A and B are shown apart, each in its own frame.
Chain A
Amino acid sequence: MAAVTQAAPERIAPPRRPRVVFKGATVWRWVVLIVAAVYFLLPLWAALRFAGIGAFGSVISQPGFTSSLALSVRLAILTTLITIALMLPTTVYVHLRLPKLRRLLEGITILPIVIPPVVLIVGVLAIAPGFLKGTSWLLALAYVVLAMPFTYRALDAGLRALDLKTIVEASNSLGAGWLSTLWRVLLPNLRTALLSATVLCVALVLGEFTMASLDLYQTFPVWIYVNSQTSGQVSVAASLLALFVTWIFLLGITVLGTRQSRKTGGGEVTLFTVARTETRGN
């Protein structure tokens, strides 16, 4: 902690945070953020200049906008739920009980990233039973495989930041069962990682084009492509629109998450909380 200066006997000066040390760092951080913002936003602006505002209207007015978006949203929600239901208990379990398998788990979860989507969908369609092939749920199951590398990495990073063994042992010693521990102790502590995983899953599904079109479904990205062909400007406007819709959806999830946690009395939930104030007393 900061040194306490001895003033007059009846008054102790409050501890001062050494602000001078941080100032250079603060400027530097803002520089990083501004450069990043320019790099990411300038190309979008260049594309918007080319497309013109009018092009957006002609994209949205095409039939199928809502139905394809609804399909993509359904798939996104389903994929996210399955992925987390599958990956979270497994990752926690391996971290806790089977640490030797951790490397194997890492290896398995990185594999899907190098399988070409066309190979994956061919393989999935080859082994899937007929009743499943006829629905879009099969696509969701395939998306879970695609999302696996990213979800695992986010959950793993979150778990490494915890002292998992201690927390679980403490919970067990207080009488909680395995499921209760998972739901009431681990989940709140993994809020950051879970939201990161959710963002990655949802954005992945809302942007995935190849496998959906190979499985002959018209999800939102496929619809965007189909309706972007009247002119060059419309095609650029269509892809910008897809970006924007996905972003709004993600923002909605975040805002909902914040409101939910406020209702239950928790602190502000951004997508990522970093312990900034609570641990000063340690």
Chain B
Amino acid sequence: MAAAAAVTGSLLLTVGCSSSNSSSGSASGTTGSGTNWATASSAAAGGGMNALVAAAKKEGTLNVITLPANWANYGTIMKDFTAKYGIKINDANPDGSSQDELNAVNQLKGQDRAPDVLDMGTAFAVKGAQQGILAPYKVATWASIPADAKAADGTWFADYGGFVAIGYNSDKVKTPPTSFADLLKPEYKNQVAINGNPTQASAAFSAVFASALANGGSLNDITPGVSYFKKLHTVGNFVPVTASAATMESGQTPIIVWWDYLLASEIGPSVKGLKIVIPSDASYAAYYDQAISKSAPHPAAARLWEEYLYSTTGQNLWLQGEARPIELSTLVKDGTVDQAAYKALPPAPSGNVIFPTQAQQAAAENIVAQQWSSVIG
């Protein structure tokens, strides 16, 4: 609590000043011009974009964590960033989870290897903010991020997201499924899988949540989702294995319920006949969040990375990975969106997407944790 107050206090101070020349104890990040980027809460506060770029180039390295190359086009994003600014990117713990990211920040504090920037689920971003390990920072396009998708003090902000979708190999699956109800049909025997354990993998958890919405449940009630999967197993359609590109390619799991953008980027390249459809009876979306570590060993590079991701280039690169960048509506309005990539997205359901609150999510997680093992009896 005290840490959060201190953070907010220093944030107010820096925002109030036109130029920040604060000199705090941390040695790293101090450039020749005297700006300590470790405490800068925006590019303007630190002396402008050019100063930021110069400082970042001087640092020369950026540590990212848990960003697989084929996740939301991160491979291309990282290559492009390095090409543009000459900053080398170290991508550690590619299979890691959001909890691992927080752990790494805490345990490797003060080490050169510690992560600079984080990309994690909202529950963990909130937790990180509570622990006081995230640095408040507002990117140049801060205003384009919806208010309910960011922390007011700038400690975390949504980056990209997608919908729970049904991906199927059209070479093997002759009748295209279009909804959760469809998946119960007998022609999909031994074909349907999800990408992991719902108590551990957020994509799988979201699949259960989506199926709950499709079967009379709500954001307050996830139990119909568990019952749905139980029914799916009883009729013999559910394959409890962790689905992946390999399992679809080898014919084990021709139908996978997963995030639409991950279906595209992780399975698309190996399965030519992949088709992605958002179920007509439920639309469930979630966004991941970006954050900067307060003890980042390369604070200027970290902030430049965020500016880059939230620039038109960065947002469009995510769009090309078939993820929905958070500033999509602004891009469309301004006409700066990549039209081809935008058209390639699976048609989104109309109407506003409602996200579960932290409380709703926690309650749903507990139910799933207790009941998931009953799915195969």
Direct contact of A and B (CB under 8 A): yes
Does A231 sit within 8 A of B, measured CB to CB?
yes
Binds A, one of B52-60, B102-110, B302-310, B320-328: B102-110
Question: Are A134 and B246 neighbours in the complex by a CB distance under 8 Å?
Answer: no
Does B100 sit within 8 A of A, measured CB to CB?
yes
Looking at the complex, which one of A130, A222, A235 makes contact with B245 (CB distance below 8 Å)?
A: A235
Looking at the complex, which one of B107, B110, B270 makes contact with A231 (CB distance below 8 Å)?
A: B270
Question: Are B112 and A134 neighbours in the complex by a CB distance under 8 Å?
Answer: yes
Does B70 sit within 8 A of A, measured CB to CB?
yes
Q: How far is the CB of B224 from chain A (nearest CB, A)?
A: 32
Does A41 sit within 8 A of B, measured CB to CB?
no
Does B129 sit within 8 A of A, measured CB to CB?
no
Looking at the complex, which one of A118, A121, A217, A232 makes contact with B247 (CB distance below 8 Å)?
A: A232
Looking at the complex, which one of A118, A214, A225, A236 makes contact with B246 (CB distance below 8 Å)?
A: A236
Does B94 sit within 8 A of A, measured CB to CB?
yes
Question: Are A213 and B94 neighbours in the complex by a CB distance under 8 Å?
Answer: yes
Does A81 sit within 8 A of B, measured CB to CB?
no
Question: Are B92 and A218 neighbours in the complex by a CB distance under 8 Å?
Answer: yes
Q: Which one of B63, B96, B115 has the highest number of Cβ atoms from chain A below 10 Å of its Cβ?
A: B96
Question: Are A216 and B269 neighbours in the complex by a CB distance under 8 Å?
Answer: no
Question: Are A222 and B269 neighbours in the complex by a CB distance under 8 Å?
Answer: no
A-B contact pairs, 27 of them (CB 8 A): A50-B249, A50-B250, A118-B100, A118-B103, A121-B107, A122-B107, A125-B107, A125-B108, A134-B111, A209-B95, A213-B93, A213-B95, A214-B103, A216-B65, A216-B93, A216-B104, A216-B113, A218-B92, A222-B94, A225-B94, A229-B70, A229-B266, A230-B270, A232-B244, A232-B246, A232-B250, A233-B246
Does B176 sit within 8 A of A, measured CB to CB?
no
Contact with A along B57-96 (1 / 0, CB 8 A): 0000001010011100000000000000000000111111
Q: Which B residues lie within 8 Å of A134 (CB)?
A: 111-113
Could you tell me the distance between the alpha carbons of A231 and B249 in the complex, rounded to whole angstroms?
A: 9
Question: Are A214 and B249 neighbours in the complex by a CB distance under 8 Å?
Answer: no
Does A226 sit within 8 A of B, measured CB to CB?
yes
Could you tell me the distance between the alpha carbons of A216 and B96 in the complex, rounded to whole angstroms?
A: 10
Q: How far is the CB of A126 from chain B (nearest CB, A)?
A: 7
Q: Which A residues lie within 8 Å of B93 (CB)?
A: 213-214, 216, 222
Does A102 sit within 8 A of B, measured CB to CB?
no
Does A133 sit within 8 A of B, measured CB to CB?
yes
Does B40 sit within 8 A of A, measured CB to CB?
no
Q: Which one of B65, B93, B103 has the highest number of Cβ atoms from chain A below 10 Å of its Cβ?
A: B93
Q: Which A residues lie within 8 Å of B250 (CB)?
A: 50, 232
Q: Which B residues lie within 8 Å of A232 (CB)?
A: 244-250, 270
Could you tell me the distance between the alpha carbons of A80 and B322 in the complex, rounded to whole angstroms?
A: 47
Q: Which B residues lie within 8 Å of A235 (CB)?
A: 244-246
Could you tell me the distance between the alpha carbons of A217 and B266 in the complex, rounded to whole angstroms?
A: 24
**Are A225 and B269 CB-contacts (below 8 A) given A126-B107, A232-B250?**
no
Q: Which of A213-272 contact B (CB under 8 A)?
A: 213-214, 216-218, 222, 225-226, 229-233, 235-236
B residues contacting the other copy or chain, number (CB 8 A) = 31
Could you tell me the distance between the alpha carbons of A229 and B94 in the complex, rounded to whole angstroms?
A: 10
Could you tell me the distance between the alpha carbons of A218 and B63 in the complex, rounded to whole angstroms?
A: 13
Looking at the complex, which one of B70, B104, B245, B266 makes contact with A214 (CB distance below 8 Å)?
A: B104
Question: Are B247 and A130 neighbours in the complex by a CB distance under 8 Å?
Answer: no
Could you tell me the distance between the alpha carbons of A230 and B244 in the complex, rounded to whole angstroms?
A: 12
Could you tell me the distance between the alpha carbons of A67 and B94 in the complex, rounded to whole angstroms?
A: 17
Q: Which B residues lie within 8 Å of A217 (CB)?
A: 92, 113
Q: Which A residues lie within 8 Å of B108 (CB)?
A: 125, 133, 216
Q: Which A residues lie within 8 Å of B266 (CB)?
A: 229
Could you tell me the distance between the alpha carbons of A15 and B92 in the complex, rounded to whole angstroms?
A: 68
Contact with B along A15-29 (1 / 0, CB 8 A): 000000000000000
Could you tell me the distance between the alpha carbons of A122 and B104 in the complex, rounded to whole angstroms?
A: 9
Looking at the complex, which one of B69, B100, B248, B249 makes contact with A229 (CB distance below 8 Å)?
A: B69
Question: Are B269 and A231 neighbours in the complex by a CB distance under 8 Å?
Answer: yes
**Identity of the chain A residue whose Cβ is nearest the Cβ of B107 in the assembled complex:** A125
Q: How far is the CB of B89 from chain A (nearest CB, A)?
A: 13
Question: Are B249 and A233 neighbours in the complex by a CB distance under 8 Å?
Answer: yes
**Are A230 and B91 CB-contacts (below 8 A) given A125-B108, A216-B108, A236-B246?**
no
**Identity of the chain B residue whose Cβ is nearest the Cβ of A235 in the assembled complex:** B246
Question: Are A133 and B92 neighbours in the complex by a CB distance under 8 Å?
Answer: no
Could you tell me the distance between the alpha carbons of A110 and B141 in the complex, rounded to whole angstroms?
A: 55
**Identity of the chain B residue whose Cβ is nearest the Cβ of A50 in the assembled complex:** B250
Q: How far is the CB of B73 from chain A (nearest CB, A)?
A: 13
Could you tell me the distance between the alpha carbons of A126 and B68 in the complex, rounded to whole angstroms?
A: 27
Q: Which of A122-148 contact B (CB under 8 A)?
A: 122, 125-126, 130, 133-134
Could you tell me the distance between the alpha carbons of A118 and B103 in the complex, rounded to whole angstroms?
A: 10
Question: Are A230 and B246 neighbours in the complex by a CB distance under 8 Å?
Answer: no
Could you tell me the distance between the alpha carbons of A233 and B246 in the complex, rounded to whole angstroms?
A: 6
Q: Which A residues lie within 8 Å of B96 (CB)?
A: 213-214
Contact with A along B22-57 (1 / 0, CB 8 A): 000000000000000000000000000000000000
Could you tell me the distance between the alpha carbons of A232 and B252 in the complex, rounded to whole angstroms?
A: 12
Additional pairs, 6, CB under 8 Å, beyond known A213-B94, A230-B269: A50-B246, A50-B249, A118-B100, A118-B103, A125-B107, A213-B96
Question: Are B94 and A230 neighbours in the complex by a CB distance under 8 Å?
Answer: no
Q: How far is the CB of B319 from chain A (nearest CB, A)?
A: 21
Question: Are A122 and B247 neighbours in the complex by a CB distance under 8 Å?
Answer: no
Could you tell me the distance between the alpha carbons of A176 and B258 in the complex, rounded to whole angstroms?
A: 69
Could you tell me the distance between the alpha carbons of A252 and B270 in the complex, rounded to whole angstroms?
A: 36
Q: Which A residues lie within 8 Å of B249 (CB)?
A: 50, 231-233
**Identity of the chain A residue whose Cβ is nearest the Cβ of B63 in the assembled complex:** A216
Question: Are A226 and B94 neighbours in the complex by a CB distance under 8 Å?
Answer: yes
